[in-house]
Amino acid sequence: MKPNLRGSLALFAATLLSATAPASAALKVVATTSEYGALAAEIGGDRVTVTTIAKPTEDPHFVDARPSQIVAMNRADILIEGGAELEIGWLPPLLDGARNAKILAGAPGRVVASAGVQLLDIPLAADRSQGDTHVAGNPHFMLDPVNSRIVVEHIARVFEAHDPAGAATFDSNVASFEVRLDAKLKEWSAALAPFAGRQIVTYHPTWRYFSRRFGLEANTFLEPKPGIPPSPPHLARVMEKMRAENIRVLLVEPYQPRKTAEAVAAHNNALVVDVCQFPGAIPGTSTYLELIDIVVRRVAQALAAQS
Amino acid sequence: MIRRDRGAIERLWFRAGIFSAVVLLLQMPLFAQSPAPAEPEATLRQEIEQMRADYEQRLAALEAKLAALESAKAQAAPAEPPSPQPQPIPASPADGAPAPLTLVSGSGGKNFLNLSLDGLIAAGGSTSSDIEALQTGGHDPIQRGFTVQNIETVFEGAVDPYFRAQVNVILQIDADGETVVELEEAFATSTSLPKGLQLKAGQFFTEFGRLNPMHPHAWDFVDQPLVNGRFFGPDGLRSVGARLSWLLPTDFFSEALVTVQNSQGETLSSFRSVPGETLFGREIVEREVASVSDLLIVPRYTASFDLSDTQTVLLGASAALGPNGTGESRRTRIYGVDGYWKWKPTNAFKGFPFFKLQGELMRRAASVAAAPEEELPAATYTDWGGYLQLNWGYEARKVVGLRIDRVGGDSGNPGDPGLAERWRLSPAWTWFPTEYSKLRLQYNFDHGDALERDEHSLWLQLEFLLGAHAAHKF
C-alpha cells in the first residue's frame, strides 16, 4: 500500500510540475493589437504562438481588460505593445494582474513598437480641453507601412534573444517580409501617385501617417477634437469645407458610427470608404501587407471614382 | 471625548502634512531654476547635476549607436533627406526602398508619480427627514441640497523594479461643513514574484466581493448597496495588513487570495470596531490581539471565463472571519458570493454598447455577548443581504441601469435596526461627456421594517477626473 501511495504522490507532483513547465518550446507572444500580432506571426513562424488582446474590429482606445488576457500575459515570454499610449486604458491593469517579470517595462521580453518611430501630432501641452490627445503623439503610426520595417526589426531582435536557435529563421523571415514590403510600397505609391495632394476626410485622426506617406491630406475630421463626438455645428463646417474644397472621399473604420459618416457624405455626393487599421477587421486581411494593400486599393478606387 | 480630540489632532497633522507635500510639489520646478541657495540644496543640486551629466553621456552613447545603425541602413538603401515635409515615396525601383522616418523614441510623457484627482459631487433630495440613516454609505449623498461625496487624490507609480505603490487620500465635507481628510489606501504591490504570486501590503480595501475594493467613482450608481453599508460600515471594509494572491496555473483565469488585516477601527464595524460603538445593541469593548485568529482573515477565490468573443463572466467567493468587539471569544463570519457578466460587441465604439449584470449575496453570522443593562442576552444573529444590478450602455456614452437591494435578518432583536429588513429599488441614467466626466441621475425607492414609511429620493451626481488616473480592472 505504502509504496503505491508514494508512487502516486510522486506522479501527482510530476503532473503538477509538468503543468507549470512550458507545454511546448514555441515562444509565447502576446500582442496588444493585431498588426503587431500579424507581424510577430510572420517573423516567428512555427517558433512562436501569438495571442492578440484587442479585437481588430473594436475601438483600440477602449478595450476591456478581460481576466483571460491576464492569463495569456502571465504565461507570455514576449509582449509587443505600441507604446504610444493607445493601450493606456487597458494594458496597465492587465500587466498588474499578470505579475510576469519577463514582460514588465524594460524587461527583455517587452517590445515597444514605437521606439525609434517619429510620431506626429505631439501636442504642445498636456491639455484635455483639446480632447483625448496623446502626450507621446499620434499612436496610429503603423498605418505608414514604412514604419513596419522598424517594428519587424524590434520583433526579430527580441525573438533572437529568446530563441537563438531560431535566429536564421527570423532573419530570413524579416528579409522576406522586407522584400515583399518594398515591392508593395512601389505598387502602393504608384496606385496613389495620381491623387497626390488630394484631401480625404476621416472620423478620427487615424490616417495621418498613411496620408503623409502617400502624398494625401487627411486633416479634416468628423470629430471636432480627438475623441470628442461630432457636434452638428462642427459637421456643418466639415460639409461646407468638403463642398468648397471638393473633398469627395470619407474614410470610416469598423467601430466608428457609419451613419454619421453617411449623412455627411450624402450632402456632397462623397463616397464612404470602409477601411481599418488592424489586420483581420476586413475579410482577406489576415496579414499586415494584405491589410495595407486593401486599404490602398479602396482609397485609390474611391479617389479615382470621384475624379 | 479624548478619542475625538486625538482624532482631530491627527487630522490636523495630516492636513499639515498634505499642505507641506503640496508646497514641496509646487516648489519642485522653481527649485530647478533658482540659484543654489542653502547648503543641503547645494549638495542636492550637485547630485542632480551629476545625474544629468551621467544621463547626457548615456544619451550621447545611445545616439551614436542609433546613428551607426542609421548609416548602416543608409548604405543598404539611400535614406530620405531629413525634412519636416512629407516625403513622397520614390516611384522608380532605381531609387531603392525608402528608409523609415527614424528619429527619436516617442515614449515621452511618463512620470515617476502619476497624480490624479477625482471629484464626486451630488445634488438632490429625499422625502426622508433622516437621510444619514437612510443612506448607509459614507460616500452617499447625505442631505437635501448638495453633498461633496468624495474628492479623491491618487498618487501612484512604480517604486522600483520590485514594487508599485498607490496612495489614495480622500477629502469630504460633512453635513456641518467641516472638511474631513482620510487616508483611504496606501499600499505597495509586488511586481515580479515568481510562480504567479503577488504580495500587497499596507492600508487597503479588503478584497472581499466585487464592490468593496472599488472606489466610489467606479460604481455604477450614486450610492453603495445597502448590504455593504450594513456589513462593512459606511466607508467599506478596509484596514492595515497584507494580502497574498496566487494566479493558479489553469487554462482559465483562476486566482486565490488571502488577506490578513487588523480587525479594529471604524472601517471594521462588524468586527472589533471602535470601543463605545455598538454591534446589535451591545457596546464594543477593548479587546487585545492574542493570536492570529484575532486578526481579520479574508480568503477569496475568483475565476473568469470568456463565454464567447463578446461575453465574459467573473465569479468569486469570499469570507471575512474575525473577532468582534462585544466580548471575549465573540466572532463574526461574513460569507459572500459575487458574479459579473458583461456583453460587448466586437465592433464596440468607445466601449459601447454593452450589457453588464452584477450581483453579490452575503450572509453574516455574529456571536455577540450579553448586555445586562439593556437586558440583551448572549446570542448569535444571522442576517443576509445582496444586490443585483443591470446596466445597459445603449449608445455611445449613455447608460441606463437598475439595481435592486435587500438586507435583513433574524427578528430576535427587534429593537435593533441593524437586523431589520430593508429594500431599495434604484433606476439610474448616466451620461459620460468623455471618459473623464459623468453626470448621473438616480431615483431611490426605499421600503422596509427598518423605516417608518416608504421614502423617495432623487440624486444628481457629477464626476470630474483630472490627471493620470490608473485604468480599472475588469
**Residue B368 Cα to chain centre, angstroms:** 31
Whether residue A22 is found in the same domain as residue A84: yes
Q: Is the pLDDT of residue A224 over 90?
A: yes
The three cell numbers locating residue A62:
477602449
Is A5 domain-assigned?
Answer: no
Q: Do A146 and B93 touch (CB under 8 A)?
A: no
Report the distance separating Cα B104 and Cα B82, nearest Å.
13
Residue of B nearest to A103 (CA): B192
Beta-strand pair B311-323/B331-343: antiparallel
The H or E element containing residue B153 is: strand B145-158
Q: Which of B347, B391, B397, B472 to mutate to test the interface with A (most CBs of A within 10 A)?
A: B347
Is A6 domain-assigned?
Answer: no
| Share of residues in chain A with pLDDT > 70 (%) | 92
Q: Is the pLDDT of residue A46 over 90?
A: yes
Q: How close, in Å, is residue A213 to chain B by CA atoms?
A: 6
Residues of A with Cβ-Cβ distance to B90 under 8 angstroms: 189
Whether residue A52 is found in the same domain as residue A152: yes
B314-339 per-position pLDDT tens digit: 999 999 999 999 999 999 999 999 99
Name the band, by pLDDT with cuts 50, 70 and 90, for residue A200.
very high
Last residue of a domain, one of A162, A181, A200: A181
Name the band, by pLDDT with cuts 50, 70 and 90, for residue A249.
very high
| Core vs surface per residue A205-229: b (16+ CB within 10 A) or e | bbbbbbbbbbbbbbebbbbebbbbb
The lowest-confidence range among A21-30, B39-48, B110-119 is: B39-48
The lowest-confidence range among A153-157, A212-216, B70-74, B420-424 is: B70-74
> Of B90, B105, B312, which is closest to A66 when you measure between CB atoms?
B312
- CATH classification of the domain holding A213: 3.40.50.1980
Q: Is the pLDDT of residue A24 over 60?
A: no
Contact predicate A26/A5, CB 8 Å: no
Is A201 domain-assigned?
Answer: yes
Is A37 domain-assigned?
Answer: yes
The three cell numbers locating residue B408:
435583513
Whether residue A36 is found in the same domain as residue A142: yes
Name the band, by pLDDT with cuts 50, 70 and 90, for residue B296.
very high
User: pLDDT at position B45, please?
Assistant: 61
User: pLDDT at position B373, please?
Assistant: 86
Residues of A with Cβ-Cβ distance to B86 under 8 angstroms: 212-213, 215
Residues of A with Cβ-Cβ distance to B470 under 8 angstroms: 92-93
| Share of residues in chain B with pLDDT > 90 (%) | 68
The H or E element containing residue A229 is: none
Residue of B nearest to A212 (CA): B86
Whether residue A215 is found in the same domain as residue A177: no
> Of B98, B106, B161, which is closest to A114 when you measure between CB atoms?
B106
Q: Is the pLDDT of residue B4 over 60?
A: no
The lowest-confidence range among A148-157, B26-35, B67-76 is: B26-35
Whether residue A270 is found in the same domain as residue A220: yes
The lowest-confidence range among B24-33, B56-65, B183-192 is: B24-33
**B417-420 long-range CB contacts below 8 Å, 24 or more apart?**
B417/B450, B418/B230, B418/B279, B418/B280, B418/B281, B419/B280, B419/B381, B419/B383, B420/B448, B420/B449, B420/B450
Is A41 domain-assigned?
Answer: yes
Residues of B with Cβ-Cβ distance to A64 under 8 angstroms: 312, 342, 344, 351, 474
Q: How close, in Å, is residue A286 to chain B by CA atoms?
A: 17
A93-124 per-position pLDDT tens digit: 999 999 999 999 999 999 999 999 999 999 98
Q: Is the pLDDT of residue A16 over 50?
A: no
Residues of A with Cβ-Cβ distance to B91 under 8 angstroms: 186, 189-190, 193
Whether residue A116 is found in the same domain as residue A246: no
Q: What is the mean pLDDT of residues B50-55?
A: 61
Residue with cell 442631505: B143
User: pLDDT at position A9, please?
Assistant: 53
Report the distance separating Cα A147 and Cα A134, nearest Å.
19
Q: How close, in Å, is residue A93 to chain B by CA atoms?
A: 6
Report the distance separating Cα A225 and Cα B212, nearest Å.
36
Is A2 domain-assigned?
Answer: no
The lowest-confidence range among B23-27, B43-47, B143-147, B196-200 is: B23-27
**Residue A51: what are its φ and ψ, rounded to 5°?**
-120, 135
Residues with Cβ < 8 Å from B44, sequence gap 6 or more? none
Last residue of a domain, one of A158, A181, A204: A181
The lowest-confidence range among A64-78, A285-299, B89-103, B418-432 is: B89-103
Q: Do A64 and B93 touch (CB under 8 A)?
A: no
* Domains in chain A, number: 2
Of residues A80, A24, A25, A88, the one with CA closest to residue A51:
A80
Report the distance separating Cα A141 and Cα A247, nearest Å.
24
DSSP A41-105: HHHHGGGEEEEESS-TTS-TTS----HHHHHHHHH-SEEEE--SSTTTTTHHHHHHHH--GGGST
Contact predicate B196/B247, CB 8 Å: yes
Q: Is the pLDDT of residue A23 over 50?
A: no
> Of A58, A105, A196, which is closest to B347 when you measure between CB atoms?
A58
The H or E element containing residue B408 is: strand B398-409
> Of B86, B309, B471, which is closest to A92 when you measure between CB atoms?
B471
Mean pLDDT value across chain B: 83
Residue of B nearest to A18 (CA): B249
Is A258 domain-assigned?
Answer: yes
**B467-470 long-range CB contacts below 8 Å, 24 or more apart?**
B467/B114, B467/B115, B467/B116, B467/B117, B467/B154, B468/B111, B468/B114, B468/B115, B468/B116, B469/B114, B469/B116, B469/B118, B469/B154, B470/A92, B470/A93, B470/B114, B470/B116, B470/B154, B470/B156, B470/B166
Q: How close, in Å, is residue A165 to chain B by CA atoms?
A: 24
Residues with Cβ < 8 Å from B354, sequence gap 6 or more? B342, B343, B344, B348, B391, B392, B393
Q: Do B397 and A212 touch (CB under 8 A)?
A: no
Q: Do A70 and B97 touch (CB under 8 A)?
A: no
Whether residue A157 is found in the same domain as residue A49: yes
Contact predicate B150/B118, CB 8 Å: yes
B242-251 per-position pLDDT tens digit: 999 999 999 9
Q: Do A99 and B247 touch (CB under 8 A)?
A: yes
Of residues B105, B437, B151, B467, the one with CA closest to residue A127:
B467
Q: Do B349 and A212 touch (CB under 8 A)?
A: no
Is A120 domain-assigned?
Answer: yes
3-class secondary-structure state, position A155 = helix
Report the distance separating Cα A152 and Cα A160, nearest Å.
12
Report the distance separating Cα A174 and Cα A166, nearest Å.
12
The three cell numbers locating residue B13:
497633522
> Of B100, B346, B435, which is closest to A149 when you measure between CB atoms?
B100
Beta-strand pair A48-52/A27-31: parallel
Last residue of a domain, one of A146, A181, A216: A181
What is the domain range of residue A259? 191-305
Name the band, by pLDDT with cuts 50, 70 and 90, for residue B64.
low
Residues with Cβ < 8 Å from B30, sequence gap 6 or more? none
Q: How close, in Å, is residue B13 to chain A by CA atoms?
A: 33
Beta-strand pair A249-252/A271-274: parallel
Tell me which of B290 and B30 has the higher pLDDT: B290
Residues with Cβ < 8 Å from A142, sequence gap 6 or more? A35, A36, A82, A113, A148, A151, A209, A277, A288
Residues with Cβ < 8 Å from B336, sequence gap 6 or more? B208, B209, B317, B318, B319, B320, B360, B361, B362, B363
Query: How buried is B50 (Cβ within 10 angstroms: 0-12 exposed, 13-18 middle, 19+ buried)?
Result: exposed
Report the distance separating Cα B338 and Cα B358, nearest Å.
8
Name the band, by pLDDT with cuts 50, 70 and 90, for residue A45.
very high
DSSP B33-73: HSPP-SHHHHHHHHHHHHHHHHHHHHHHHHHHHHHHHHHHH
Whether residue A245 is found in the same domain as residue A128: no
Whether residue A42 is found in the same domain as residue A149: yes
Q: Is the pLDDT of residue A274 over 80?
A: yes
A175-193 per-position pLDDT tens digit: 999 999 999 999 999 999 9
Q: Do B252 and A256 touch (CB under 8 A)?
A: no
Residues in chain B: 474
Whether residue A26 is found in the same domain as residue A160: yes
Whether residue A166 is found in the same domain as residue A300: no
Beta strands in chain A (DSSP E): 27-31, 48-52, 78-81, 110-112, 199-202, 217-221, 249-252, 271-274
The three cell numbers locating residue B419:
437586523
In Å, what is the CA distance from A259 to each residue of A234, A253, B162, B353, B354? 16, 12, 49, 16, 19
Report the distance separating Cα B137 and Cα B226, nearest Å.
8
Triad B211, B215, B221: Cα angle to 5°: 65
Residue with cell 486633416: A219
Q: Is the pLDDT of residue B346 over 80?
A: yes
Whether residue A241 is found in the same domain as residue A143: no
Q: What is the mean pLDDT of residues B49-63?
A: 60
User: pLDDT at position A306, please?
Assistant: 87
Mean pLDDT value across chain A: 92
